[in-house]
Amino acid sequence: MILRCGKHVLDLRQPRIVGVLNVTPDSFSDGGRYLDAAAALAQARRLVAEGADMIEVGGESTRPGAAPVSAEEESARVLPVLRQLARELDVPIAIDTSQAEVMRAAVEAGATLINDVRALQQEGALRAAAELGVPVGLMHMQGEPRTMQHAPQYEDVVAEVAAFLGERRAAALAAGVAADSIVLDPGFGFGKTQAHNLALFAALPHFAALGAPLLVGLSRKRMIGELTGREPAERAVGSAVAAAMAAARGARLLRVHDVAATRDALTVMRELGG
Ligand code: HH2
């Protein structure tokens, strides 16, 4: 399995690390730290040196309770950073956005993968993704960030998330997105209780068997906090263990903040035959 991101080809027989770079004032674990382009570039270089195979840039926090941002505001945050990273780094750059206008500007600025936590459901997003011709990540979320953790409910979380991903994949294909450009993600923490997250984690082999590369984002999330009793900045070990286990269960793209810890976890697991 490979993923073609512009001139970069990711061989997904190995799990790949996506280093997260949030250029937001309010992200839950790194908000406000990389707002200016120079700080963002320095952090991106650090993530690549630590072993990131891709860098993802996001200008909208989707933490529980976060308010939406306008396309203008989001573009102003991400575009200068994307241009610099695309010029200076030799790894693919992803854009984390739901807005068609931002997708178009981001790809123009050098992004070669679109990661959408709303799975191309916003107006114009399906068409933009198909026209831009880059891979797209489709994630499941119940509700919207502002209210998604109020009372998430499912009859059967695994079946409902899988059905949603199947529908969004069909919609993307119908819009003209290439079959080998679709990445799926169950969306840990997005309108899910701890019990829902644990059920989805146990079902990762099922999601991997849907036939598209599987992306997971567990890094520093409350799911890890509930298991370890630690604050976001102290969740690197728990997150790295979870990422390695997810890879063993079929995840191919691991969206993480702590790249060095994740790289070590994957290396040790591989060398020990896990
Ligand atoms: N999680 C976050 C953001 N984007 N995208 C995908 N595909 N999967 C995820 O699990 C995912 C995601 C939330 O993490 P973070 O970006 O660190 O926080 P914030 O949303 O506060 O910026």
Q: Give catalytic status of residue 104 as yes or no.
A: no
Q: Give catalytic status of residue 255 as yes or no.
A: yes
Q: What is the DSSP string of 110-133?
A: T--EEEETTTT-STTHHHHHHHHT
* Ligand 1 pocket member 118 (CB < 6 A): no
Separation of alpha carbons 189 and 197, rounded Å: 7
* Ligand 1 pocket member 215 (CB < 6 A): yes
Residue 159 sits at φ, ψ, to 5 deg, of -65, -40
Name residue 119's amino acid: A
How confident is the model at residue 29, as a pLDDT? Answer: 85
Ligand 1 atom 3, closest CA? 62
* Ligand 1 pocket member 16 (CB < 6 A): no
Ligand 1 centre distance from Cα of residue 272 (Å): 30
196: left (phi over 0), alpha (psi -120 to 50) or beta: alpha
How confident is the model at residue 34, as a pLDDT? Answer: 83
* Ligand 1 pocket member 217 (CB < 6 A): yes
How confident is the model at residue 26, as a pLDDT? Answer: 87
Ligand 1 atom 15, closest CA? 27
- In 46-92, the DSSP E strands lie at 54-58
Name residue 72's amino acid: E
DSSP conformation class of 145: T
How confident is the model at residue 56, as a pLDDT? Answer: 98
Tokens of 233: 């900045």
Separation of alpha carbons 234 and 246, rounded Å: 20
How confident is the model at residue 214, as a pLDDT? Answer: 98
Ligand 1 centre distance from Cα of residue 13 (Å): 24
What's the burial of 245, exposed, middle or buried (CB within 10 Å: 0-12/13-18/19+)?
middle
Global pTM reads: 0.97
Residue by residue, pLDDT tens for the chain (274 residues) are 999 999 999 999 999 999 999 999 988 888 888 888 899 999 999 999 999 999 999 999 999 889 889 999 999 999 999 999 999 999 999 999 999 999 999 999 999 999 999 999 999 999 999 999 999 999 999 999 999 899 999 999 999 999 999 999 999 999 999 999 999 999 999 999 999 999 999 999 999 999 999 999 999 999 999 999 999 999 999 999 999 999 999 999 999 999 999 999 999 999 998 7
Ligand 1 centre distance from Cα of residue 65 (Å): 13
Taking Cα atoms as reference points, which of 252, 255, 274 lies closest to residue 12? 252
